[in-house]
Amino acid sequence: MRWIGYLLFFLFFFSIVAYAGEGGYTVDSYPTQNGSIDTSGADATISFWELPLWVQIAYISGVILASLGLLKIIPIVLARIKNLLENQSRHAIFKYILNNPGCTIAEISDQQNMNMGSVKYHIYRLKLPKFYPWL
C-alpha cells in the first residue's frame, strides 16, 4: 500500500501544467493559387472499364470469392438445432429408459443390441442441457 502513495506523489509532483499565452492568434483563410488547376490527374473520374486489367480481375475475383464464402456460410447461419430424438438409437434408448426406470447401461445394451460405448454416448447426449431446457 505504501507504493501507491509514492506513485501518487510522483504523479502529482511531476505533472506539468500548461498555460496558454496571452498573445492570442488569428485565423486566415488559405490563399488561393493563381492560374489554372489540372484536374485530369489522380482526381479525375474514370469508369470501371478504363481501369487496368489487373485491377478489374482483382475486383471481379474478390466479388466471386466473397459470394462463394457467403454461400458456404449460409447453411451455418440458417442451421437449426436438431432434435436429439431424431436419432433412432437415441430415441429407442430414451423409450426404454422411460418404460424401465432404474435400468443399467448393461441392460439397455443387451435389450437394444447395441455396444455399451454407444449406449453411454447416447445417454450422455440425452443428459445435455439442450434436451432438458427447464432444468
At which of 77, 97, 116 does a domain end? 77
pLDDT tens sequence across 33-46: 666 666 566 666 78
Residue at 66 is within a domain: yes
User: CA nearest 109: which of 127, 97, 125?
Assistant: 97
- Give the Cα separation of 3 and 105 in Å (integer): 62
Residue at 30 is within a domain: no
DSSP label of 48: G
pLDDT tens sequence across 91-117: 889 889 889 888 889 999 998 899 999
Does 64 or 87 have the greater pLDDT score?
64
String of DSSP letters for 24-92 = -----PPPPPSS----SSTT----GGGS-HHHHHHHHHHHHHHHHHHHHHHHHHT--PPPGGGSHHHHH
C-alpha distances (whole Å) from 3 to each of 10, 23, 77, 106, 113 are 11, 43, 52, 65, 71
Q: How many domains does the chain have?
A: 2
94 shares its domain with 122: yes
Residue at 93 is within a domain: yes
What is the average per-residue pLDDT within 71-85? Answer: 65
Q: What is the pLDDT of residue 81?
A: 47
Q: Which domain holds residue 55?
A: 48-77
Residue 52 has pLDDT above 70, yes or no: yes
User: CA nearest 123: which of 98, 90, 99, 100?
Assistant: 90
Residue at 26 is within a domain: no
**Confidence (pTM):** 0.37
Give the best-scoring range by mean pLDDT among 43-52, 71-80, 96-105: 96-105
